[in-house]
Structure 1
Amino acid sequence: MDAHQLRLDPLTGRWVVVAEGRRYRPAAISLSSEIAPEDPTRPCPFCPGNEEATPPALETYGPTGSWQVRVVPNLYPAFQGDAPMVSVSHGPVFTQAPATGIHEVLILSPNHDAKWSDFDAEQSRVVMSAMRDRIEAHAHSKSIRYSQAIVNQGRDAGASMAHPHAQLLGMSFVPRELADEQAGFARFVGGCLLCTTVALEESIDSRILFTDDHLAVIAPYWSSIPFELLIVPREHGPYMHLADPEALFGVGEAITSSLATLREKVGPVAYNLVFHSSPYRAFGNFHWHAHVYPKLSTLAGFEMGTGVQINIVSPELAIEVLTDGPRHLAVG
């Protein structure tokens, strides 16, 4: 391939620069997944036996007398309350609205040192079930338009606690990233954007990490960061909470294997895991999916000033590294 390319992300309409030569800069790629040292005098509020340190659970999954996943309100919510989304202007350039909604924490395992990459099939199924159930609960709220499920693993990814957990934020507006993706689906005239992407990637077979009857894991052609992954269920549907259970559980297990492969082939990478489902009561085409964003590079002035990402590891090279291909990547 050419050393430098522009690649269009059809989900957002944004351009991505692929410039592999820049990866040879000193410390262009670094590994950092450690959380700040924990205070040994303060018990982990997410560990079994410390349940009183969190607000009362909204849901608990697992056998009687123990639990596999707990869902609790976030002690420090970004969104709270059920007031309607009404914006108010304070002059020509100052507009505000209440940050109403729901902010929950899903404690993904009773094991303090576990990561999603360590989950067995049963644990990943329970996690996906809990996420589905809570998103469905949000769907019944008249004030919530969209719910965002995320996992931040590692300090560089924004995690403040080591115990494995996810966050679910229900908000009264549709955020820009989802609106951009909705527009991407609307612009695409060949059917479903992601169904077409999976079909084409399977015919090319240079950016596929894993496929089975339920899903495909690819390094998208428009990857904007090193080792970015896109997990797409084969079943076409806009809503994660209405997905076929086998497709839902398949995505959870694919996340486990993808993250384990990333850790094995690249190293202990911090990452963000993001689930995108259609906003509630939305019209138009959409196909729910998940993104894995490893934290291997740092945004600099060009990226911040222009919004244009420079990816120093092409998705083709990323798949070669992750699948033991002929080319390997040294990081440090």
Structure 2
Amino acid sequence: MKSKNQLRLDPLTGRWIAVAEGRSYRPSAFFPAPASEHIPSDRNCPFCPGAEEDTPPALETYGPSGSWTVRVVPNLYPAFSGDEPMVTVSKGPVFTQAPASGIHEVLILSQDHKATWADLDEDQIGVVMAAMRDRMDAHLHSNVIRYSQIILNQGRAAGASLEHPHAQLLGISFVPRELADEQAGFSRFVGGCLLCATVELEKTIDERVVVEEEEATVISPFWAQSAFEMLIVPKSHGPHLHISSPYELKSTGIAIKKALNKLRNQVGDVAYNLVFHSSPYRAIGNFHWHIHLFPKLTTKAGFELGTGVSINIVSPELATKVLLGTEAIDGTKN
């Protein structure tokens, strides 16, 4: 009997993804974690106006004199800190360690405690993207940092410990496996740029395009590993976020906003992760910076954890129709 399910290869990482849409009809297949879920705190929010002394002194402040619209501050509980060089030490045949050098920063998106990225106005988005650019450029001049990762965790289920919307910037002394895999994916592709070719084909096929902004395109990628996953790709080919033009950065940020609003309007107020992938500093080879959007609708179970093979229970084709409002999650027409 011919299977209705599919294996799809992610060309960015070289991993197989299983698309098994029938599993979405199981009872309680989705466990959506609301992005607005209250994160309890025993003290006032340190990111709100008036609580500036509750954070370390700002690294960057954006806004009119005497006020601010966006702040970047050191993380009080950094995962990476210090400027020791990346030198590994062997403590036995299977024990290798190195100093976790680098920098860990917090980018406060707005003064508004409740304003998620989807709620920001376009000018505010331009400032947020400019702050990301400036901090990545600052990381470039470190003798230790090889790669900078920007993430945004919205909602407790996505890993947020504070409710006030914020992003995190981590400058680290090594290139992580996920980025190394993506670099290899770009190197394997022989038709120019992998993501430029992907976006061009997606526009022709027109089955998985979610948002078309002037300088960025949002797709539900053919190889999506999770339900309603999206990929935001700037139209101008370039490896580094920090050397992109202000207009391109703002347009890309607006594309994120539109994608998040479609997700909220059509699927619900779910928690999500935004992950920005820019080329490692001083890397040689083809790359195209981009952003991954991962809604928290399902939980990885034993098979995924044991094999590294993700099972996506909503095909990207159906996900796109749902996000565009033309079909319901059960496949019926709206």
The answer (yes or no) to whether the contact 1:321–1:329 under 8 Å persists in 2 is no
Output the CA distance in 1 between the equivalents of 2:15 and 2:184. 12
CA distance change for structure 1 residues 63 and 36 in 2, over 3 Å: closer, same or farther? same
CA distance change for structure 1 residues 314 and 126 in 2, over 3 Å: closer, same or farther? same
1:194-240: per-residue Cα shift (whole Å, max 9, x none)? Answer: 00000000000000001133111000000000000000011000000
RMSD over equivalenced CA pairs, Å: 1.3
2:87 corresponds to 1:86: yes
Output the CA distance in 2 between the equivalents of 1:326 and 1:100. 48
Partner of 2:295: 294
The answer (yes or no) to whether the contact 1:74–1:103 under 8 Å persists in 2 is yes
Partner of 1:5: 6
Partner of 1:201: 202
Output the CA distance in 2 between the equivalents of 1:150 and 1:225. 18
2:53 corresponds to 1:38: no
1:269-322: per-residue Cα shift (whole Å, max 9, x none)? Answer: 100000000000000000000010000000000000000000000000000001
Q: Which amino acid aligns with 1:270?
A: A
Q: Which amino acid aligns with 2:152?
A: V
Q: Which amino acid aligns with 2:158?
A: A
Unaligned residue ranges in structure 1 (runs of 5+): none
Partner of 1:55: 56
Q: Summarize the alignment of residues 109-124 of structure 1 with structure 2, pairs less than 5 Å apart.
A: 109-124=110-125
Q: How many residues are matched?
A: 329
The answer (yes or no) to whether the contact 2:39–2:162 under 8 Å persists in 1 is no
The answer (yes or no) to whether the contact 1:35–1:159 under 8 Å persists in 2 is no
Partner of 1:228: 229
Output the CA distance in 2 between the equivalents of 1:231 and 1:321. 18
TM-score normalized with structure 1 length: 0.97
Partner of 1:304: 305
The farther-off stretch of 276-285 and 41-50 is 41-50
Output the CA distance in 2 between the equivalents of 1:2 and 1:292. 29
Q: Which amino acid aligns with 2:243?
A: L
The farther-off stretch of 65-74 and 30-39 is 30-39
TM-score normalized with structure 2 length: 0.96
2:155 corresponds to 1:154: yes
1:18-69: per-residue Cα shift (whole Å, max 9, x none)? Answer: 0000001121112212445423x51110000000000000000011121110
Q: Which amino acid aligns with 1:232?
A: V
The answer (yes or no) to whether the contact 1:35–1:160 under 8 Å persists in 2 is no
Structure 1 segments of 4 or more deviating over 2 A? Answer: 33-39, 326-330
Output the CA distance in 1 between the equivalents of 2:245 and 2:112. 28
| Percent identity for Structure 1 against Structure 2 | 66
